[in-house]
Amino acid sequence: MMAPEFFYAAVIVMIGAFLALLRVFFGPSVPDRVVGVDTLNTLIVAGMVLLGAAYDRTIYIDIAIVYALLSYVGTLAIAKYLQGGLE
């Protein structure tokens, strides 16, 4: 724990992730909830990078790379499903 400013930044990013979670809970339509999940994914990647810098661990940042690519694939799959399947 060498850099406390990265911890404070991670806490504020998690507050933003909570606000995005409210959109997932109260979203009136299905694409609203998916937009909330997409925002949540990007905020979690940012939080992983911040925590990796704060704890000086490389492995957290590798997990952030994998999470970014997998969340992209998940968003594309849900979008394909919403528009009515493969064409």
Partner 1 sequence: MIEWLIGIFLAIGVIFNLLASVGLLRFPDVYTRIHAATKCTTFGTIFIVLATVTYAIYSYFWVEKDPSWITIGIHSALVVIFLVLTNPVGAHALGRAARKSGILPHGAVIDELEGRL
Q: DSSP character for 47?
A: H
Shortest reach from residue 39's CB to partner 1, in Å: 4
Contact positions vs partner 1 (CB under 8 A)? 3, 5-6, 9, 12-13, 15-17, 19-20, 22-23, 29-32, 34-36, 38-39, 42-43, 45-46, 49-50, 52-53, 56, 58, 61-62, 64-65, 68-69, 72, 75-76, 78-84
Burial of 7 (0-12, 13-18, 19+ CB in 10 A): middle
**3-class SS string, 2-24:** CCHHHHHHHHHHHHHHHHHHHHH
Shortest reach from residue 2's CB to partner 1, in Å: 8
